[in-house]
């Protein structure tokens, strides 16, 4: 395990005042004012302006340090500025960064071979963002349905799960149940059927002769770290195999170490037909995503049918290969498991003291706060004031997904601060 965060900064944060340059509040507010004035308002960020980061810690423009317990929605699984990843990126920056797929580059081959090997599959379709990997899988599944399974032209359907989150494109929001993500963005793409998450019987009942695939998050992250029953994904595997339907696992957030395994599917001993990967695959440096599967599925794509100018670019491939090398040793996965157990125990100890439920898998936890106490947003704001960055989701749930390079002391610090925030909130009742 490479250690580079310089140990825990928890003590540092406890005593830290604003110790940056003069007029720190001015620097913070002018940076936020600029974003408010010139960037579209499609986010509602916490009022912290990060300027540097190392390992599990970020520093704001005033010099104040915070423990990053979001890790860019798991894109920074291996910590900010991981030396092996930065070295790979810097070396490639000096060689060549983009060729397009009109030509070969010498980085793509080693990357796709390493990733296919890590996943135990034949082939990789490289893309950039998570949503592009999902879109690519939708196209692949439909083409497979028509060309291999023999579904009638333009009739293919894909089964998705209630409460899903797979990204923000028009097609993807077409099968979301989140009205905020859909309102005023129609008309929507047809060809999707949604069933309750975790209900294998409902899934099987929804399959008909038009079904080409089932698209599932092995854990629903944005929905609040919802973990289905242990026998659910094995049942999905069994059902999809029996009906000759593809099992597509969106491991964009759950994969690549976060849950204490390379894939959450590994934790329940299931092998899907396609893995969708993104976020951490780019090491928090560049957007890198991929669809990974066997030749009988990925092989349906012919030259000219699908592509991306940046997909498979040499910089992304060099970083992606370094990410795969980190994962190949298994150390990150083991560390996430060990640290995750500690985080979960700490959070569970707050049950009844403002916490009503904790759901955890590896170093990933959804914590439901008593809605009578505060909104998730308010808890996040108070934690920020105490040096911990987390993000709320769905009202009063907050999620913890610190970089896997965080220390045990860092996690204890985060739990301690949550405990203090919850006591403060209880006292005002």
Site residues, ligand PLP (CB under 6 A): 73, 129-131, 134, 165-167, 217, 221-222, 250, 252-253, 278
65 or 166: CB nearest ligand PLP: 166
- Are the C-beta atoms of 315 and 286 separated by less than 8 Å? yes
Cα distance between residue 183 and residue 279, in whole Å: 26
Does a cis peptide bond (omega within 30 degrees of 0) precede residue 181?
Answer: no
- Are the C-beta atoms of 156 and 145 separated by less than 8 Å? yes
- Are the C-beta atoms of 73 and 279 separated by less than 8 Å? yes
Active site residue 279: yes
Cα distance between residue 429 and residue 426, in whole Å: 5
Structure-token pair, residue 157:
């359907």
- Least distance in angstroms from the C-beta of 289 to ligand PLP: 7
At residue 397, the 3 state secondary structure works out as: strand
- Going from the C-alpha of 301 to that of each of 96, 124, 147, 148, 245, the distances in angstroms are 27, 12, 10, 12, 18
Antiparallel, parallel or unpaired: β 246-250 and 355-360: unpaired
78 or 413: CB nearest ligand PLP: 78
Helices (H) and strands (E) counted in the chain, each on its own, are 16, 15
55 or 221: CB nearest ligand PLP: 221
- Least distance in angstroms from the C-beta of 36 to ligand PLP: 22
**Which secondary-structure segment (H or E) carries 295?**
helix 295-298
- Least distance in angstroms from the C-beta of 426 to ligand PLP: 32
Catalytic residue among 65, 111, 192, 279: 279
- Least distance in angstroms from the C-beta of 250 to ligand PLP: 5
253 or 259: CB nearest ligand PLP: 253
Structure-token pair, residue 74:
């798991």
DSSP symbol at 373: T
Spatial CA neighbour of 403 closest among 414, 416, 419:
414
- Least distance in angstroms from the C-beta of 347 to ligand PLP: 21
Active site residue 250: yes
Active site residue 263: no
137 or 156: CB nearest ligand PLP: 137
- Are the C-beta atoms of 179 and 188 separated by less than 8 Å? no
Spatial CA neighbour of 404 closest among 340, 345, 312, 310:
340
At residue 73, the 3 state secondary structure works out as: helix
51 or 309: CB nearest ligand PLP: 309
Q: Which residue is nearest to ligand PLP (CB)?
A: 130
Strand order in the sheet with 50-54: 50-54, 57-60, 65-68, 388-389
Residue 247 pairs with which residues in a beta bridge?
214
Catalytic residue among 60, 65, 68, 165: 165
Cα distance between residue 375 and residue 31, in whole Å: 26
13 or 134: CB nearest ligand PLP: 134
Cα distance between residue 102 and residue 298, in whole Å: 19
Spatial CA neighbour of 164 closest among 249, 268, 246:
249
Whose structure tokens read 């894939």? 263
Residue 195 pairs with which residues in a beta bridge?
161
- Least distance in angstroms from the C-beta of 169 to ligand PLP: 8
Catalytic residue among 65, 111, 121, 250: 250
191 or 221: CB nearest ligand PLP: 221
Active-site positions read: 165, 250, 279
């Amino acid at each position: 395990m490479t250690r580079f965060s310089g140990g825990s900064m928890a003590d540092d944060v406890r005593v830290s005042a604003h110790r940056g340059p003069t007029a720190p509040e001015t620097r913070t507010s002018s940076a936020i004012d600029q974003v408010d004035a010139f960037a579209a308002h499609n986010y509602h960020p916490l009022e912290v302006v990060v300027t540097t980061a190392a390992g599990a810690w970020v520093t704001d423009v005033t010099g104040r340090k915070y423990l990053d317990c979001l890790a860019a929605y798991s894109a920074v699984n291996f910590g900010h500025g991981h030396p092996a990843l930065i070295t790979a990126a810097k070396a490639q920056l000096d060689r060549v960064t983009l060729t397009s797929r009109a030509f070969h580059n010498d980085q793509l081959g080693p990357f796709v071979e390493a990733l296919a090997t890590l996943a135990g599959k034949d082939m990789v379709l490289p893309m950039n963002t998570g949503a592009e990997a999902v879109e690519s899988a939708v196209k692949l599944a439909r083409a497979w349905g028509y060309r291999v399974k023999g579904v009638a032209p333009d009739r293919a359907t894909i089964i998705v799960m209630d409460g899903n989150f797979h990204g923000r494109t028009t097609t993807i929001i077409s099968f979301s149940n989140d009205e905020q993500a859909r309102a005023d963005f129609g008309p929507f793409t047809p060809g999707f059927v949604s069933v309750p998450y975790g209900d294998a019987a409902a899934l099987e009942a929804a399959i008909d002769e038009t079904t080409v695939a089932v698209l599932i998050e092995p854990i629903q992250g944005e929905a609040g770290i919802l973990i289905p029953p242990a026998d659910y994904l094995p049942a999905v595997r069994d059902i999809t195999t029996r009906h000759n339907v593809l099992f597509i696992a969106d491991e964009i957030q759950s994969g690549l170490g976060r849950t204490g395994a390379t894939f959450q599917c590994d934790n329940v001993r299931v092998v899907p037909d396609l893995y969708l990967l993104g976020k951490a695959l780019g090491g928090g440096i560049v957007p890198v995503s991929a669809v990974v599967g066997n030749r009988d599925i990925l092989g349906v794509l012919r030259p000219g049918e699908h592509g991306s100018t940046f997909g498979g670019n040499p910089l992304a491939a060099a970083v992606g290969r370094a990410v795969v090398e980190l994962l190949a040793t298994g150390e990150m996965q083991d560390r996430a498991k060990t640290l995750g157990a500690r985080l979960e125990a700490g959070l569970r100890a707050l049950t009844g003291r403002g916490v009503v439920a904790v759901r955890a898998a590896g170093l990933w936890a959804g914590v439901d706060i008593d809605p009578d106490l505060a909104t998730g947003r308010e808890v996040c704001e108070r934690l920020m004031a105490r040096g911990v960055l987390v993000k709320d989701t769905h009202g009063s749930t907050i999620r913890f997904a610190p970089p896997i390079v965080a220390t045990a002391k860092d996690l204890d610090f985060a739990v301690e601060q949550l405990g203090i925030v919850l006591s403060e909130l209880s006292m005002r009742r």
